[in-house]
Structure 1
Amino acid sequence: MARDNADRLQFSLLFLAILALALGLALHAAGRPDAAIFAWQAGVLPVLAALLLEIFSSVRKGEVGLDIVAALSMTAALLFGETLAAAVVAVMYSGGTVLERFAEGRARQEMSALLSRVPRTATRHANGGLADVPLDLIEPGDLLLIHQGGIVPVDGDVESPQAILDKSALTGESMPVRVDRGQEAMSGSTNAGPPFDLRVRHRAADSTYAGIVRLVEAAQASKAPMARLADRYSLGFLAVTLVLSTLAWWFTGDPIRAVAVLVVATPCPLILAVPVALVAGLSRAAHFGVLVKGAKPLEALAGVSTLVLDKTGTLTDGRPQVVSIEPQNGMSEDEILYFAGALEQASRHPMARAIVAAARRQTLMLPVPEHVFERAGEGVSGTIDGRSVCVGGVAFVREQIGLTSAPSPILNIGTVVVALAIDGRMAGYITMADALRSGTAELIANLRRVGIGRILLATGDRQAVAQAVTAGLGLDAVCSDLSPDQKVRLILSERESGTVMMVGDGVNDAPALAAADIGVAMGARGAAASAEAADVVLLVDHLDRLLPGIEIAQSARHIAMESVIAGIGMSVAGMIAAALGYLSPVQGAVLQEIIDVAVILNTLRALRIDPRIGEPMRTAVPADVVRA
């Protein structure tokens, strides 16, 4: 509401300034110069009053910007009778403000699009039929129908043979992806194929897209002032302006020369347009699944020199995966998955979920287990199709079937073995691991290409596991067995030599994320503490989003700096020409308007930043996981 009122005020000031300028020109042409002067003054004074109030508010906050030059130029022009020049500056300033607000709205379009896509209802299967219900009434375990073209309202598992999902609004991926039965469908995706059924995993408020929306709303509602690169040069530019105008008046005795210098020095849209490059960068980054919480973190992201990575959930997928199956006693791999997956439906352990998902990917129809007994963290026993089944850790399964001696499966570093027994006999082993994200080595190389000179791993895992996971990645250091406070000390130490970015996803990473110059949280559905502490949130669980985020930040900052240098440089050249008498106040105002329009159009190039981006990283290589 406050922004709408401010927009209406700016439009009203612009309309009044243009009307007064046009009316004054018409009166002057009709031979009524006194009435023309009165009309121009009537257009200038409201704009000047609004500008003085804004300057007063900024000074109270300790901010001194180039707005002062605009106020000086209008005031001086009025005092020395250059009312036409004052009217042109008023139109220029109010028009620049309106143009900036339009450009900022255009720059925020990707973030606004995320908010506009929030679904309000879902179609739920109930009593043999379908009913549209509010999202607040959806509970885990409900079965939803996702219509073609509809937005997936909550996180869940695909119950149909497959689904075709368009994730472009969240990830920037241009092509829809296939999600098979048992795999997760992320909320916020669009159904690009035929209707499919979705088994709800989380309530709407706890789903990925709800987390994204909360983060976007928080970023847009932030009351922190936007970074204004132009203001860094404001005091120096203001001093140059005053010196040139004073010298021009002193040596020529003509105050109009001083007025001309002040008018040319009014970089109105430059003051307003430079942040547009940064806002456009924020919006463009959101298009690629990178939510940056403001212009200041975007600037810092452009200058990162050291990257510190967490392991679990960052370099690795953070979820166990089935990597191999070793049948025993004549069983097949599908039979092992069938019995293990059916029984593990009764467990909520991450490994149990992974085994169930692997079985469903094989399109196995899993029966409901009976007589289930679970020993937390060790294993599950029960009945499947009338047969006694036990699945879990090797020691647990051997204990359940009374097996005292048997060949032990080979256990590589970073893997864990789940055993399966059927009717008192060992049936096979399932090897599981937390998978290293494929393409990590290429990503590390690309991160170095964009200017990150030092990349480290910081993990609480054992040294042997950390070394095995990172072998061949070419990291500068692998720091293992770290507690959260030791991670913080590592970050503070690295900050002494440059800007440090920390990437993590867990509650234990929150202190390190807060300590870094730039904290990056993996995935909007990650720990709330890490997302809150981070400056950047990767909206999807893909580490490769770092690359376009950094490239966009660097490009946006380059465009912003380019606008500062070009705008102020051309203004100084015009000021010198005005001081030497080559430009009148009116000519100077027109020249500055041309300069400012060119500058603001240049900043809008940030909306077309197109980083080089590959396919999202997938999981493939074994890493570390332990069944607790």
Structure 2
Amino acid sequence: MTTAALHPTETGRSRYGGWMPRLRGWLAVLPLVGLCIGLAAQALGHPEVAALAWTLATLAILVVLASQVVTSLAQGDIGLDLVALLSMGGALALSQPLAGAVIALMYAGGQSLEAYAAGRAGRAMTALIARQPRTALRDEDGALREVPLGALMPGDRILVRVGDVLPVDGRVAAGRAVLDRSSLTGEALPVSFGANEAVLSGTVNAGTPFTLVAERPASESTYAGIVRLVEAARSQKAPMARLADRYGLAVLAVTLLLAGAAWLATGDPLRALAVLVIATPCPLILAVPVALVSGLSRAAGIGVLVKGGGALEMLAKVRVLVVDKTGTLTHGTARLVSTRVVGPFDEDEVLRLAASLDQASGHPVARALVEEARARGVAVSQPAMVTELPGEGVTGSVDGRPILVGGARLMELHDVRFPPADATRHATAAVATVLIAIDGAPAARLEFADPLRTDICNVLADLRACGIGRVVLATGDRRAVAETLVAGLSIDAVAADLDPTGKTDTVAAERRNGPVMMVGDGVNDAPALAAADLGVALSARGAAAAAEAADVVLLVDSLAPLPRAIRIAKRARTIALQSVWVGLGLSLAGMIAAALGYLSPLQGALLQEAIDVAVILNAMRALGGPRDVSEPTGRRAPRNA
């Protein structure tokens, strides 16, 4: 059975045109019907009818195969389908109609089996595209109107019904939303989101209807980005898949030489025909694509989008990890880590007044302060007479009381003098220190930091177990901040004070230790992601530049799926190589046996099909695997995923 080389990310699509995918599933019907009619006619004593039925069945497949070969040759591809063409044509020329019909059935059956295997393997990836919504219910002056996704704009209020896929990124307008994120992140359980919390497009409403306030157009949403990445992944061809291109001519040459030698040595053309029949390159052109697409599908099922078979192969080979800090080892958002009240003020009251004023600011630290107040259940008030000095802070009044929230410079401008800070507390880990003054007097000193992810120790240990021998932190932060933050983590080296060029240089320098995987999430990480042997962007919702430059995108805001994805990639690659070399070895043994006269053309066709079926079934093992590789853990991802 020789078939067209299927790109590992085509998931069932054929390179021969739009009509082939539909045809391949039914291709085996013609030779099967012809074979059955011929066998029945032979049993009833009508050999001429049997021969005609077998010949017509063979000719029908021969026409399809010839069109594929011509298409390949026109594209400059001397495909291995030429062997199948010669074997079927030879069977008819040598008056072997039964052998020809069996070869035709084997070929057509292989096409159908390949289409089924690739389609099943790519189901998780194609499901991401199939689920993309086309319209949304927009609230227009109190009336709901169904509009195309392209018409949605930031600020639009959208009703999300039970079972609806969220069409855009946004925030919950009021109440709570219960979302099923399993298709994007592999999470087993729905996650609940409160009012004003950010939610991702592509997730499914598993609770009651709620109103979503859009934050970006549909074309810029997380789900639209994922769809674009999947489409890009499906158009790429893996280096392992190019084994068929690299060795195809060699296999073809060996086949023709062996067939010709057998014919010349014995004078029996049936020997040559038997060699052609069993000369199957299916381990090359079937096993690799099916195994790699299976791996891509498994990775997509746990929330890891791998952009093609080549990236999956490299994922199995990486030995060095260069990782960014902000948003990767950490959450990338400021969090309140210390509150020191000055004077007679109450901590909750200070937090309430400061958060009330900071509602008017868009600064990340201001947002963190407001979120902290809401998390504590503190009721904020409406601020008045708000003035924001960029880079300095915010002034205004809350409940008639003058409030200052900002840095030391703002306090100096208003002649508010704070006592000296304790230089030992959070001296290196603090992202920002915020001073609060109430009624013109010092009230509190707040310190914000970007803490490590709670699961980072376990993730690094898992990565080590997956074969990562060296871990390097590459960050733009000061060395003291970086080293203090990662103290105790399994990190071999720290490269600090880096700009984007410095991160790229770090990646290049680490190549001496093996293939390098770079993990980051920001715009400044994009050059390093592109320069690495494998770039991994954390969360498709992050910077678009990072996701575009990366080879792998984690759809959940966590590094936890990465070790599992590496195990999936290693398993898929191992299975592909097993299928290739074992399959080719069996085919070569069969060709030699046929050349020596131990196999007839009919026997060779049957043996060839047995080898091909075994190869494809073995490759499909990549769809499954050990529990820790193939099944979601059921743990909830961080809320800001």
Matched, 1:571 2:571: no
Query: Partner of 1:498 in structure 2?
Result: 514
Change (3 A) 1:75 1:333: farther
Following the alignment from structure 1 to structure 2, what is the Cα–Cα distance between the partners of residues 577 and 238? 18
Following the alignment from structure 1 to structure 2, what is the Cα–Cα distance between the partners of residues 148 and 593? 49
- The 8 Å contact of residues 66 and 267 in structure 1, kept in 2 or not, is answered as yes
Following the alignment from structure 1 to structure 2, what is the Cα–Cα distance between the partners of residues 125 and 49? 57
State the Cα distance separating 1:9 from its structure 2 match: 3.7
State the Cα distance separating 1:270 from its structure 2 match: 6.2
State the Cα distance separating 1:378 from its structure 2 match: 2.1
Matched, 1:412 2:427: yes
Q: Bigger shift: 49-58 or 547-556?
A: 49-58
State the Cα distance separating 1:127 from its structure 2 match: 4.8
Residues 585-622 of structure 1, C-alpha deviations (whole Å, 9 max, x = no match): 112111221221222122222222454465466599xx
Q: Bigger shift: 174-183 or 232-241?
A: 232-241
- The 8 Å contact of residues 73 and 266 in structure 1, kept in 2 or not, is answered as no
Change (3 A) 1:56 1:306: farther
Matched, 1:175 2:195: no
Following the alignment from structure 2 to structure 1, what is the Cα–Cα distance between the partners of residues 639 and 206? 24
Counterpart of 2:43, as a letter, is: A
Secondary structure, counterpart of 1:431 in structure 2: strand
Query: Partner of 1:313 in structure 2?
Result: 327
Query: Partner of 1:51 in structure 2?
Result: 65
Following the alignment from structure 2 to structure 1, what is the Cα–Cα distance between the partners of residues 22 and 205? 39
State the Cα distance separating 1:197 from its structure 2 match: 4.3
Query: Partner of 1:201 in structure 2?
Result: 215
Secondary structure, counterpart of 1:112 in structure 2: helix
- The 8 Å contact of residues 154 and 204 in structure 1, kept in 2 or not, is answered as yes
- The 8 Å contact of residues 440 and 617 in structure 1, kept in 2 or not, is answered as no
- The 8 Å contact of residues 191 and 636 in structure 2, kept in 1 or not, is answered as no
Query: Partner of 1:353 in structure 2?
Result: 367
- The 8 Å contact of residues 243 and 284 in structure 2, kept in 1 or not, is answered as no
Secondary structure, counterpart of 1:271 in structure 2: helix
- The 8 Å contact of residues 233 and 308 in structure 2, kept in 1 or not, is answered as yes
Counterpart of 1:549, as a letter, is: A
Following the alignment from structure 2 to structure 1, what is the Cα–Cα distance between the partners of residues 322 and 165? 35
State the Cα distance separating 1:246 from its structure 2 match: 3.7
- The 8 Å contact of residues 26 and 112 in structure 2, kept in 1 or not, is answered as no
Following the alignment from structure 1 to structure 2, what is the Cα–Cα distance between the partners of residues 270 and 28? 37
- The 8 Å contact of residues 401 and 425 in structure 1, kept in 2 or not, is answered as no
State the Cα distance separating 1:169 from its structure 2 match: 0.9
Query: Partner of 2:5 in structure 1?
Result: none
Structure 2: gaps (5+ residues): 1-12
- The 8 Å contact of residues 7 and 98 in structure 1, kept in 2 or not, is answered as no
State the Cα distance separating 1:104 from its structure 2 match: 1.6
Change (3 A) 1:326 1:151: farther
Query: Partner of 1:556 in structure 2?
Result: 572
Following the alignment from structure 2 to structure 1, what is the Cα–Cα distance between the partners of residues 493 and 76? 43
Aligned length: 619
Residues 117-162 of structure 1, C-alpha deviations (whole Å, 9 max, x = no match): 2234444556566655544444434444443333333323334454
Following the alignment from structure 1 to structure 2, what is the Cα–Cα distance between the partners of residues 146 and 247? 71
- The 8 Å contact of residues 67 and 268 in structure 1, kept in 2 or not, is answered as no
With the length of structure 1 as denominator, give the TM-score of the two structures.
0.90
Counterpart of 2:409, as a letter, is: A
Matched, 1:6 2:20: yes
Change (3 A) 1:135 1:246: closer
Query: Partner of 1:522 in structure 2?
Result: 538
Following the alignment from structure 2 to structure 1, what is the Cα–Cα distance between the partners of residues 19 and 419? 78
Counterpart of 2:427, as a letter, is: N
State the Cα distance separating 1:447 from its structure 2 match: 0.7
Following the alignment from structure 1 to structure 2, what is the Cα–Cα distance between the partners of residues 316 and 60? 53
Structure 1: gaps (5+ residues): 621-628
Counterpart of 1:371 (choices 379, 385, 395) is 385
Query: Partner of 2:551 in structure 1?
Result: 535
State the Cα distance separating 1:450 from its structure 2 match: 1.0
- The 8 Å contact of residues 420 and 429 in structure 1, kept in 2 or not, is answered as yes
Counterpart of 2:416 (choices 400, 403, 409) is 403
Matched, 1:387 2:386: no
Q: Bigger shift: 505-514 or 114-123?
A: 114-123
Following the alignment from structure 1 to structure 2, what is the Cα–Cα distance between the partners of residues 339 and 207? 35
State the Cα distance separating 1:534 from its structure 2 match: 1.5
Residues 530-586 of structure 1, C-alpha deviations (whole Å, 9 max, x = no match): 221211111222122211221111111122112212322222232233233332211
1:602-617 matches, within 5 Å, as 602-609=618-625, 610-612=627-629, 615=635
Query: Partner of 2:101 in structure 1?
Result: 87
Counterpart of 2:613 (choices 593, 597, 604) is 597
1:103-122 matches, within 5 Å, as 103-122=117-136
Counterpart of 2:412, as a letter, is: E
Query: Partner of 2:87 in structure 1?
Result: 73
State the Cα distance separating 1:225 from its structure 2 match: 9.4
Report percent identity of matched pairs.
53
Query: Partner of 1:626 in structure 2?
Result: none
Query: Partner of 2:9 in structure 1?
Result: none
Residues 162-195 of structure 1, C-alpha deviations (whole Å, 9 max, x = no match): 4332211111011222334443222222233334
Following the alignment from structure 1 to structure 2, what is the Cα–Cα distance between the partners of residues 617 and 193? 18
- The 8 Å contact of residues 162 and 180 in structure 1, kept in 2 or not, is answered as yes
Following the alignment from structure 1 to structure 2, what is the Cα–Cα distance between the partners of residues 54 and 166? 44
Change (3 A) 1:232 1:205: same
Following the alignment from structure 2 to structure 1, what is the Cα–Cα distance between the partners of residues 400 and 164? 42
Query: Partner of 1:288 in structure 2?
Result: 302
Following the alignment from structure 1 to structure 2, what is the Cα–Cα distance between the partners of residues 592 and 37? 23
Counterpart of 2:364, as a letter, is: P
Following the alignment from structure 2 to structure 1, what is the Cα–Cα distance between the partners of residues 254 and 219? 55
Residues 353-376 of structure 1, C-alpha deviations (whole Å, 9 max, x = no match): 222222222233333322211112
Counterpart of 1:362 (choices 376, 385, 403) is 376
Query: Partner of 2:279 in structure 1?
Result: 265
Counterpart of 1:207, as a letter, is: S
Secondary structure, counterpart of 1:260 in structure 2: helix
State the Cα distance separating 1:233 from its structure 2 match: 4.6
Residues 248-302 of structure 1, C-alpha deviations (whole Å, 9 max, x = no match): 3344332212211221223448633431111121122111111111111111111
Following the alignment from structure 2 to structure 1, what is the Cα–Cα distance between the partners of residues 174 and 110? 54
Q: Bigger shift: 263-272 or 208-217?
A: 263-272
Counterpart of 1:526, as a letter, is: G
Matched, 1:151 2:161: no
- The 8 Å contact of residues 535 and 551 in structure 2, kept in 1 or not, is answered as yes
Following the alignment from structure 1 to structure 2, what is the Cα–Cα distance between the partners of residues 576 and 117? 50
- The 8 Å contact of residues 321 and 433 in structure 1, kept in 2 or not, is answered as yes
Following the alignment from structure 1 to structure 2, what is the Cα–Cα distance between the partners of residues 177 and 193? 10
With the length of structure 2 as denominator, give the TM-score of the two structures.
0.88
Counterpart of 2:495, as a letter, is: C
CA RMSD of aligned residues (A): 2.9
Following the alignment from structure 1 to structure 2, what is the Cα–Cα distance between the partners of residues 183 and 8? 45
Counterpart of 2:42, as a letter, is: H
- The 8 Å contact of residues 108 and 280 in structure 1, kept in 2 or not, is answered as yes
Secondary structure, counterpart of 1:503 in structure 2: strand
State the Cα distance separating 1:329 from its structure 2 match: 2.8
Following the alignment from structure 1 to structure 2, what is the Cα–Cα distance between the partners of residues 320 and 51? 62
Following the alignment from structure 2 to structure 1, what is the Cα–Cα distance between the partners of residues 409 and 553? 41
Counterpart of 1:553, as a letter, is: A
Change (3 A) 1:386 1:171: same
Residues 305-332 of structure 1, C-alpha deviations (whole Å, 9 max, x = no match): 1121122221121121222322233333
Residues 224-256 of structure 1, C-alpha deviations (whole Å, 9 max, x = no match): 899254555544544443444344334433221
Query: Partner of 1:463 in structure 2?
Result: 479
Change (3 A) 1:498 1:56: farther
Change (3 A) 1:312 1:452: same
